[in-house]
Every structure is written in structure tokens, then in C-alpha cells.
């Protein structure tokens, strides 16, 4: 917390230790900056090492566990990196803007009602709420701007819908099947949960649309 923006005196000093990368240099390109000492990831790694040492583990043991964890998460890291790369390509190529304009043209003022469904689709495809927000968050904001609606509300709608997709995401179901010892029965699990997911999505769409109208965000 002390390294966060809540404490600018500390944050501003630590933020100077950074690396800026120019991954894309075309129109509307933005540099990607890694702030090493204020990144939550850095703090988590430091906390992990400190906790391990305080509990009597050797530095070598901690490194071995870290290596094992990285190996286990390799597929996940590749997936997340690929999703982020895809979202950037879609953004810079104009694909997101095109999709947003098309959705607005088709749905008009009813777009907020289906906004959570897009978030659900994102999580179903990627298996991650975070990845769904990376993939479709900008689309929701552009759609909101085209409709003169509150972009924060639409981004929140995407995030809310993304939580529903977690129920039916193949990756999540596969993990759940392993956890409860029913490997090979993923299809049965999906069949059992899909009705609850559908009900959740419908309620979410209604809440987003109705409360947005009530609060003047739409």
C-alpha cells in the first residue's frame, strides 16, 4: 500500500525505476511502461520471498518452488499474453471500433441490455474475467461513447457479465472436474450449471439496463 498512488511521495520516487517499450509505432501507438518497484507483481514476489524466509525456508527452496510454479503456469501465461496481444491488434487495426459501431447500429438504445452477454462470451472463450475485460473492455467503452452513455457503466457491465462466463468456461469446468475427482464428466457438469448461468445472465442484463436508466447513466 505504501508504494501505491495513495502515497505519492513514495510512489513518485519508486516509479522512476521503469522500462518503456515501444511494441507498436504506428498511428495512435502508446508506449508500454513497466514500473518495476510499484508493480503489484513485484510486491507479491518480494512478499513471497520474505514470508518463506521468515518461515524457515532456504533461498534455494523458495527458488525451486518458484520454478515449479512458473512451469505449472506456463500455459496460463501464454494464454494471457496471447489475449493481450490479440486485444492490441484488434484495437490498433480498428476492429474493436468496427465491432462497436456495428453492435450499436443493430441494437441501438437496447445495447446496454446485451452488454453483459459480451463479457460472458469473453470469459467463456478465454477462461478468465481479466482476459475478457482486456479483450472486450475497450469495445464496451467505444460503444458507450457512440451512444452517448456512461462508459464506466458499460465497462462495469462487461465485468459483471464476465463473472457469469466463469460458470460455463471450459477451462474452469476442467479445473473443477479435477478438483472434485470427476475427470471425463465435464459435459455433465456443463449441462448441470448452464441453466443457472442463463438465469444469472438474464438477471444481470435486467439489473444493468434498469439501474442504468434509473441512475441516468444510459
Structural domain containing residue 206: 94-215
Task: Say what the pLDDT of residue 1 is.
Answer: 66
Domains contained in the chain, number: 1
User: Does the residue 128 lie in any domain?
Assistant: yes
Residue-wise pLDDT tens digits, 5-52: 777 777 778 778 888 887 777 776 777 788 888 887 888 888 899 999
Comparing CA positions, the residue from 139, 175, 145 lying closest to residue 159 is 139
User: Does the residue 67 lie in any domain?
Assistant: no
Portion of the chain with pLDDT greater than 90, in percent:
13
H runs (alpha helix) in the chain:
8-14, 40-54, 59-72, 74-93, 95-107, 111-126, 129-146, 151-168, 170-179, 186-215
- In this structure, the number of other CB atoms found within 10 A of the CB of residue 144 comes to 24
Residue-wise pLDDT tens digits, 74-116: 876 777 677 677 777 777 777 777 877 787 788 888 888 888 9
User: Does the residue 143 lie in any domain?
Assistant: yes
User: Does the residue 21 lie in any domain?
Assistant: no
Which three cell numbers, joined as nine digits, stand for 23?
511494441
Contact 123, 80 (CB under 8 A): no
Q: How many residues does the chain have?
A: 218
User: Does the residue 196 lie in any domain?
Assistant: yes
User: Does the residue 199 lie in any domain?
Assistant: yes
- Alpha-carbon distance of 20 to 16, in angstroms, equals 11
User: Does the residue 27 lie in any domain?
Assistant: no
Measured on CA atoms in the order 33, 37, 40, 41, is the torsion positive or negative?
positive
Q: What pTM did the predictor assign?
A: 0.63
Contact 135, 83 (CB under 8 A): yes
User: In this model, does residue 194 exceed pLDDT 80?
Assistant: yes
User: Does the residue 17 lie in any domain?
Assistant: no
- Alpha-carbon distance of 176 to 189, in angstroms, equals 9
User: In this model, does residue 172 exceed pLDDT 80?
Assistant: no
Task: Say what the pLDDT of residue 80 is.
Answer: 67
- Alpha-carbon distance of 116 to 120, in angstroms, equals 6
Amino acid at each position: 500500500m505504501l508504494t501505491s498512488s495513495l502515497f505519492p511521495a513514495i510512489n513518485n520516487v519508486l516509479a522512476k525505476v521503469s522500462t518503456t517499450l515501444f511494441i507498436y509505432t504506428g498511428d495512435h501507438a502508446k508506449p508500454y511502461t513497466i514500473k518495476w518497484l510499484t508493480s503489484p507483481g513485484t510486491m507479491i514476489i518480494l512478499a513471497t520471498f520474505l514470508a518463506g524466509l521468515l518461515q524457515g525456508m532456504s533461498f534455494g527452496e523458495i527458488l525451486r518452488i518458484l520454478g515449479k510454479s512458473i512451469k505449472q503456469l506456463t500455459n496460463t501465461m501464454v494464454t494471457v499474453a496471447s489475449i493481450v496481444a490479440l486485444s492490441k491488434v484488434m484495437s490498433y487495426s480498428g476492429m474493436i471500433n468496427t465491432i462497436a459501431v456495428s453492435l450499436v447500429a443493430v441494437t441501438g438504445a437496447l445495447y446496454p441490455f446485451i452488454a453483459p452477454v459480451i463479457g460472458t462470451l469473453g470469459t467463456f472463450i478465454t477462461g478468465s474475467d481479466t482476459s475478457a475485460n482486456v479483450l472486450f473492455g475497450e469495445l464496451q467503452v467505444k460503444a458507450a461513447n457512440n451512444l452517448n452513455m456512461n462508459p464506466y457503466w458499460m465497462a462495469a457491465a462487461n465485468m459483471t457479465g464476465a463473472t457469469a462466463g466463469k460458470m460455463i468456461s471450459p477451462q474452469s469446468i476442467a479445473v473443477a472436474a479435477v478438483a472434485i475427482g470427476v475427470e471425463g464428466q465435464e459435459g455433465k457438469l456443463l449441462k448441470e450449471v448452464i441453466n443457472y448461468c442463463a438465469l444469472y445472465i438474464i438477471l444481470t442484463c435486467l439489473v444493468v439496463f434498469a439501474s442504468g436508466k434509473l441512475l441516468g447513466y444510459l
